[in-house]
Structure 1
Amino acid sequence: MEHILQNNHYQLCDEIGRGRFGTIFRCIHLLSGQLFACKLIDKRLLSDPTDRSCLQNEPKYMSLLSPHPNILQIFHVFHHDHFLCIVLELCHPHTLLDRILPRPFPEAEAASVMKQLLEALAHCHRLRIAHRDIKPDNLLFDSANNLKVADFGSAQWFGDGRSMSGVVGTPYYVAPEVLLGGDYNEKVDVWSSGVVLYIMLSGVPPFHGESAAEIFEAVVRANLRFPPSTFRSTSPSAKDLLRKMICRDVSRRLSAEQALGHPWIQSGGEKRDLM
């Protein structure tokens, strides 16, 4: 694989992370000196058909969605008999999850992150693509601190009236309609984003369990609460947005575009009473 990269003027540097399907390296474009990220995937390790599908999905959907200021940009894809190499925009190694772990976010900071995430999802949904695995681990930041949505391996196109099905996603963040086994729409991404916002503001997920099965049961019940110990200082407007994003009734759940228009997002997370 190294010689294919060099033939295309890229040189692998140090390892900076590991994803579901491969190792991520820093790489340099030899002609310009510009730094990129390179995801190197050993196709021989992907025996599962679902994994192989994810491998094809990621570069396809990222190419369709690029460029967008809040979606990780893809530059090149190089194929080899045994390897796939994807050259991507270089971001900080720390994800949103790493930023949340030390402490909850002030509302203004959480609103700034959520606005960027919703901008990216609104763009995806306009192009009839659902991400289906929104979680803090998949949200990166560039050198200018702009949020970048990454990992489109579970993405799916829902154009021409197509519905989506299949259990994909991550326990704490997956929408209840996904777990119930029927068809669903792109608002699964809004639910997951609402869970991300809840965690940014409180430091804990809204639905708990000792195992994946227990978490799934709590998600399906969707009994959304705001414990005073963690939400005492949270504004009514932020809670209102959370209720409208983490809403079990899909017909009443906001779309990404509607969530962008919510007063809390529009005010930049300013603590003001709902009118």
Structure 2
Amino acid sequence: MTDAYTRYSQSKSLKYQKERDIVMKSKSRRSKYSDQKYHHVESKTPPLPAKSTSSLEELLKKRESLKQELKKIVKDPDTAPNIDYNKKRRHSKEDYAYEIMISKKRQVHNETRSNKISKTRKSNHESSPELEHIQPESEDEETIIQQRRQQRKQLLEKFNVLNEKSNESTEDDNKASNSEAENTTDIKNTQDNQIISKQVTDMFSEKDEFESNGATKNATHNEDETNLNLTDNWDDADGYFNIRIGDTINNRYTIKSILGQGVFANVVRAQDNMEGNDYVAIKIVRNNDLMYKTSLKEIEILKQIREADPDNKYHCVQFLGHFMHKNHLCLLLESLHMDLRGVIKKYGKHHGINMKALMSYSRQLLLALRLLKKLGIIHADIKPDNILVNEKKNLLKLCDFGSAGKSDDNEPTPYLVSRFYRAPEIILGVPYKHGVDVWSAACTIYEMATGKILFTGSSNNKMLKCFMDLKGRFSSKLVKRGKFKDQHFNYNNNFLLHKKDEFTGREKVVEMSNISISRDLLQELKKCNKSIYMNEERKITQLKDLLDKMTMLDSSQRAQVNDCLKHPFILEELDKC
């Protein structure tokens, strides 16, 4: 029994001893793990102050001295005490392995950083792994920034050297580029040089610094000349010639002033440097195929007028010749002082020009129309802007034959002639002849007499309404002949007025069956000539009769040019007071 009991007690004690050893080992492992995990983290909280007998005043003095030291350190960081990291305790092999593992994790999270930064980091970790837990990441970044700055300086120095070399000898650069293209085996070595050369070339420089591929200097010189010629753009966006005062045209005519600009061309006044320094008018046609063809047609008409009027007596502007300048067709014409619209604004605004000038100008205008009718030419754009006056204001001439054409070669078009001077047959689409010029001349004569425009419709439809306010309704016979009658009249020959609604602002059509005359031409003429003399009253009555005959709605009933020249307003002289 005793032997069995002793064996039992010994086995029990051995079992208890083993359990105790296991517990002790686990405790040692836990303590070692905690030491490995947290041994390098220094406590940031300061230790509790030891019990001292120092007074409160001494503590305050120490606090102020510490503040002053901190201020000095902030102002002069160089004076801060240097930390001797060699005094720090070394880590064990296990700690070193643990730190390497942490650094690898950081590298995985920082994939966006460049290879250079990762290499510098590895070198820093391998050279001084003990300092990783002491130095913050900001110091690593500062070192990386410094390294980048140094690399950037080196690159800039390389670029400056390359710039100097390229400025000194461009031929050597061309040879080097050709040799690089031939040596295909050294591609990797030449890639960096090609990138640098691309960065050096200036895309805004005047010289071509791109690879020439064996091109000669003469070829590049010719290309530069062509580029310079391309920069000489003499036209604007609409094809008009860019006029500059003082420039010389055709090596003969010096531009002195700009007279005006129309749909087809712009007109300048120039001095002829060869024949007595006389002034001429040059019509510079737009650089456009349609305008060019139209101007050739105008030249033919001007030549016919010059042949029919060699002595320049019938008040059409004289044609002197034509030439080409910078791809622009230029018409050379005689120069006059100003247009009739300028005369009306200056001498007859709101009341018209004097009666004597009115009679003279009307006669000269009708003489020009008689010459055109004799030649079978329709001007098709008579208005004060296309009538010129000399410097003495006693001579009038008709100009601008860009819209002119033969009387037997015309098609109905609703937008021929400027709108305020447009005859009814043009708006309705009735075949027209010389009567359209007579109508426009009547509107011009009225404007000279009153200083106001006779018909001021904002559209063709409104123009017809203005005609009927002065002359009454159109005859059914005339309306039926019109090609565009359906735009303005219905089947009952009632006028369809297009106007905007006062409330909605939308366009609406109003049928007008009864249209009464609401204007008195004689009263309008007298109103604009309040201070007329007794001998002028009779001339105003004659002018009213002439205008009535020249503005008949039916062109077949309208007065002809010869009839107008025989009218008493033109033939009878003004009685002296």
> Normalised by the shorter chain, which TM-score bucket?
0.7 to 0.9
Matches within 5 A, 1:78-157: 78-80=323-325, 82-92=327-337, 94-101=338-345, 102=349, 103-145=351-393, 146-157=395-406
Q: 2:256 maps to which residue?
A: 14
Report the aligned-residue RMSD: 2.5
Residues 119-176 of structure 1, C-alpha deviations (whole Å, 9 max, x = no match): 00100110000101100000001235310101101101125xx555323111111110
Cα deviation for residue 222 of structure 1 reads 6.4
What's the secondary structure of 2:521's corresponding residue? coil
* AA at the equivalent of 2:261: G
How many residues are aligned here? 260
Cα deviation for residue 25 of structure 1 reads 2.2
Tell me how far apart the structure 2 counterparts of residues 263 and 194 of structure 1 sit (CA, whole Å): 15
Residues 81-115 of structure 1, C-alpha deviations (whole Å, 9 max, x = no match): 720111110111x2111111224022221110010
What's the secondary structure of 2:545's corresponding residue? helix
Higher relative contact order (CA 8 A, sep 6+): 1
Contact residue 412 and residue 429 of structure 2 kept, 8 A: yes
Q: 2:225 maps to which residue?
A: none
Calculate the TM-score normalised by the size of structure 2.
0.42
Tell me how far apart the structure 1 counterparts of residues 356 and 370 of structure 2 sit (CA, whole Å): 21
Tell me how far apart the structure 2 counterparts of residues 36 and 105 of structure 1 sit (CA, whole Å): 28
Contact residue 364 and residue 396 of structure 2 kept, 8 A: yes
What's the secondary structure of 1:77's corresponding residue? strand
What's the secondary structure of 2:556's corresponding residue? coil
Runs of 5+ unmatched residues, structure 2: 1-233, 235-246, 472-519, 530-536
Q: 1:240 maps to which residue?
A: 545
* Alignment partner of 1:168 is 2:416: yes
What's the secondary structure of 1:172's corresponding residue? helix
* Alignment partner of 1:212 is 2:459: yes
Runs of 5+ unmatched residues, structure 1: none
Tell me how far apart the structure 1 counterparts of residues 266 and 563 of structure 2 sit (CA, whole Å): 37
Cα deviation for residue 218 of structure 1 reads 3.1
Q: What percent identity do the matched residue pairs reach?
A: 28
Q: 2:318 maps to which residue?
A: 73
Between Structure 1 and Structure 2, the one with more helix by share is 2
What's the secondary structure of 1:123's corresponding residue? helix
Contact residue 323 and residue 331 of structure 2 kept, 8 A: yes
Calculate the TM-score normalised by the size of structure 1.
0.84
* AA at the equivalent of 1:212: S
Cα deviation for residue 251 of structure 1 reads 1.8
Tell me how far apart the structure 1 counterparts of residues 272 and 259 of structure 2 sit (CA, whole Å): 19
Cα deviation for residue 4 of structure 1 reads 6.9
Spell out structure 1 runs of 4+ moving beyond 4 A: 1-4
Deviates more, 1:139-148 or 1:239-248: 139-148
Matches within 5 A, 1:176-215: 176-209=424-457, 211-213=458-460, 215=462
* AA at the equivalent of 1:252: Q
Tell me how far apart the structure 2 counterparts of residues 212 and 270 of structure 1 sit (CA, whole Å): 42
Tell me how far apart the structure 2 counterparts of residues 74 and 14 of structure 1 sit (CA, whole Å): 20
